[in-house]
Amino acid sequence: MKRRNFIKRASLTGLGLAVAPSIISCETEAKTDKKAIAIATPVLPIVVATWNFKNATKAAWKVLEKGGASIDAIEAGCRVEEADLKNTTVGNGGSPDRDGNVTLDACIMNKDGGYGAVVCMENIAHPISVARKVMEETPHVLLAGKGAEQFAVEQGFKRENLLTEASKKAWLKWKEKSEYKPIINIENHDTIGMLAIDKNGDISGGCTTSGMAYKMAGRVGDSAIIGSGLFIDNTIGGATATGMGEEVLKTVGSYLIVELMRQGRTPQEACEEGVKRIVESNPNYQNFQVGYVALNKQGEYGCYCVHGGFGISKYQEGKQTYIKSNAYTKKA
């Protein structure tokens, strides 16, 4: 812990002020309440994730608190959502494409700049783990479709049907009209993007999704694409995204945010600029959501989104916190 921050923390603790509320806002922490951020920033390890994925951040925290590596925390955390059949936007139980096929995208990045990804992979429930195998066991970084599935089976993953009865029923209902219309914050936006710093101060990240519900066959979003759904630079920090993948891809959002942090922006400022790049050149922004979360090497974090309703989960100092994100449209 930096001396400056330790002194602040010690004196505030003396006043009984060190306990942070369990629901806070990114902007409040990052901008208004400088004392709060001074307390939170130097304390490692830390894990943050898109949305209120409490079980996922808890699983990641269990790895981190024991001194585990951030890459292991990321894989453990993301696997929780992939296995959750009730989560219809990640892994097993994910919504299918318009032809009824569940196709998954995921990527992972480690402290050494390693990257592994799978896109449009079917029948394998844990794409984050396959992505890690791509990173660690192949000379490549991204495998697609049948090739990704074949590789996964060769690595010992079992083939299974990922289309649950509930997802199938919802898809058949959608097919009656076949109207493609993402619903902000409700239907299509529960991709998990996760960033973690371990006790050694090393950062890793992961992002895993079934993509937009009822997408065109073959559609790949931002989540598994380096620099878009996720970017990690162990000298600077990381960023990850959720929401309308096409908009994140067009602005290379996560890379942009990490580069802005490199230039001196706080994670909060960088996320806000990332969202601005999307909305200011896109009159259609009322119709889609994008949310970002960023974490720098000091453990400072930020989040921002196009429309309200987005938030992030954080685990730090043994405590789970949900942080509401501020939104561009509230200012516009």
Distance separating alpha carbons of residues 207 and 222, to the nearest angstrom: 9
212 contacts ligand ASP (rule: CB under 6 A):
yes
Binders of ligand ASP among residues 241 to 260 (CB under 6 A) are: 242-243, 245
Distance separating alpha carbons of residues 186 and 96, to the nearest angstrom: 16
**Per the residue annotation, which of 50, 57, 89, 191 is the catalytic one?**
191
Please choose, out of 79-87, 131-139, 219-227, 299-307, the segment that lies near ligand ASP by the rule CB under 6 A.
Answer: 219-227
191 is catalytic: yes
Distance separating alpha carbons of residues 315 and 23, to the nearest angstrom: 12
AA letter at 9: R
Q: Max alpha carbon distance in the chain (Å)?
A: 63
AA letter at 229: G
Q: State the residue number with the nearest CB to ligand ASP.
A: 245
Distance separating alpha carbons of residues 24 and 107, to the nearest angstrom: 29
Binders of ligand ASP among residues 70 to 109 (CB under 6 A) are: 89
**Cβ proximity to ligand ASP, 68 vs 94, nearer residue:** 94
Positive or negative CA dihedral for 313, 204, 304, 13? positive
**Identified binder of ligand ASP from the candidate list 41, 70, 208, 223, rule CB under 6 A:** 223
**Identified binder of ligand ASP from the candidate list 91, 211, 237, 311, rule CB under 6 A:** 211
Distance separating alpha carbons of residues 42 and 7, to the nearest angstrom: 12
Please choose, out of 72-80, 108-116, 134-142, 184-192, the segment that lies near ligand ASP by the rule CB under 6 A.
Answer: 184-192
- DSSP 3-state of 2: coil
Tokens of 294: 């960023």
Give min distance, CB of 298 to ligand ASP, in A: 27
Please choose, out of 79-87, 161-169, 204-212, 271-279, the segment that lies near ligand ASP by the rule CB under 6 A.
Answer: 204-212
Distance separating alpha carbons of residues 45 and 319, to the nearest angstrom: 11
222 contacts ligand ASP (rule: CB under 6 A):
yes
189 contacts ligand ASP (rule: CB under 6 A):
yes
Q: What residues line the site for ligand ASP (CB under 6 A)?
A: 89, 188-189, 191, 209, 211-212, 221-223, 242-243, 245
Catalogue the active-site residues: 191
